[in-house]
Copies of this chain bind each other. A is one copy, B any other.
Amino acid sequence: MAGYSKKYRYLFLGEQFDPSTHVIVTFYVESTGELERSVEAVAAESSIGTWTDTEGLSEDLFNRLSAKVFDLKKLDEKTAIIKIAYPLALFETDNIPQIFADVAGNVFGMREVKNLRVRDIELPESFVTANKGPAFGANGVRETLKIYDRPLLGTIIKPKVGLPTKEHARIAYEAWVGGVDIVKDDENLTDQDFNPFYERITRTLEARRKAEEETGEKKLYCPNISSRLSEMYPRAKFVAEMGGRAIMIDIVTVGFSGVQFIRDQQLGLIIHGHRAMHGAFTHSDRHGISMLFVAKMARLAGIDQLHTGTVVGKMEGTKEEVTKINNFLLGDWFGLKPTLPIASGGLHPGLLPELIGMLGKDVIINLGGGIHGHPGGVTQGAKAARQALDAVMKGVDLTEYSKDHKELAEAIEVWGAGSAKMEGEDKGGATYKHALVLSKGLDLA
């Protein structure tokens, strides 16, 4: 390797790097000047380099530790998709903040790049297995709920904030007895005066036990513990002490240092990962960090179930992107347990056929407004959602099924339904004949 003395020191186009000793990162790069120099700047800044030669940077050190650009696909004069190989030695393999700082840190602010996006990261086996990953994983969540053959049905308590604690617990109870498996807090409900955390846990877990007795089903409550860690850890412990089975963390706003800490404590709690704020850096396809990258870090950190998008709901995310992320989370990754994807945001019963058709059955389907906005109330809304789920699993058209399921019929009356039918058995990728009526469902007023 003669990179040290050549003109483009960090370019090793066409060379091979051992994937068992290198981290491979794919970037989209837009240059502000000469493309090759911008590409070099990315490799340098994210490994050992800076903008000038320095005393300590020997040829040996360069060869051992510099990042190396080994693939460059020009899209035009100034833009390219590149792959960079980072020697494993650059990383502290169980330190997720450090992984971000390495490959997704200073590089975004350099004058050499107009836009830059971290698209994907591939980690060697030794790197992945240095992390514990999910304690429960997708199968552990199913074991806890004793549900093996269908998507799990979740809900968020709506209105998202503002309900007094008793109301919160009551609505959770009503959702559970209606047929919901999982109740989660909203991402910005933590410990406000109108609904204090500790009282909420006590009352909502009481409601859960009551609903379990009445239905004979296991239920899950995912309270949002997100806070400064000095508060978050006591909150998590309290949930465990009170017989809770799960907690929710806003993984982006809390940060991975705190997420990893909670996972390290082995509290015996399923960790539900909310991704609020991700859109600040995943939104553009030309800049920032992809949700796939975040999902990989979340699985590494031990998130058991993670929001990844709905394709059809109120949040953005293409089918291709969401499917790719979900397939990664559920697939083999050097023995780490899989993470169960969550589809949440703007969903209602009428969207379930298309949703399950696209995402398959290994998913948590979260309906917030699509349950609580039901004209018959929360329990009826939960029934409608569960009926829609049952219909899809039986392969029955929703409108047909609603003929003798009045809660579903009422939901369809309010939000509409595609008269969609599954085409064949490929639930992971099936498409539907008829477009869904989205406009009414997205009406805010």
Contact = CB atoms under 8 A, between A and B. Distances in A.
Contact of A190 (B49, B65, B95, B288): B95
Contacts of A64: 162
A108 interface: yes
A46 B47 CA distance: 38
B261 A369 contact: no
B279 A106 contact: yes
B192 A101 contact: no
Interface string A56-67: 110001001100
Most chain B beta carbons < 10 A, residue from A187, A227, A441:
A227
Interface size class of A (residues with CB under 8 A): 35 or more
Contacts of A94: 228
Given A49-B159, A106-B187, A261 B228 contact: yes
A287 to B, nearest CB: 6
A193 interface: yes
A368 to B, nearest CB: 6
A162 B316 CA distance: 41
A345 to B, nearest CB: 7
Contacts of A187: 101, 105-106
Nearest to A301: B228
Contact of A276 (B61, B101, B317): B101
Interface in A171-221: 171, 187-188, 190-194
Contact of A163 (B56, B159, B163, B281): B56
Given A52-B415, A101-B187, A283 B108 contact: yes
Q: How many copies does the complex hold?
A: 2
B377 A55 contact: yes
Nearest to A276: B105
Contact of A258 (B109, B194, B258): B258
B253 A254 contact: no
A280 B276 contact: no
Nearest to A163: B56
Most chain B beta carbons < 10 A, residue from A97, A261, A264, A288:
A97
Contacts of A144: none
Given A56-B171, A64-B162, A256-B228, A111 B314 contact: yes
Contacts of A106: 187, 276, 279, 315, 345
A97 B171 contact: no
A337 B40 CA distance: 41
Contact of A287 (B159, B192, B280): B280
B51 A314 contact: yes
Given A56-B163, A415-B52, A229 B258 contact: yes
Given A48-B160, A61-B159, A289-B280, A191 B109 contact: no
A229 B277 contact: no
Given A7-B445, A277-B108, A159 B54 contact: yes
Contacts of A335: none
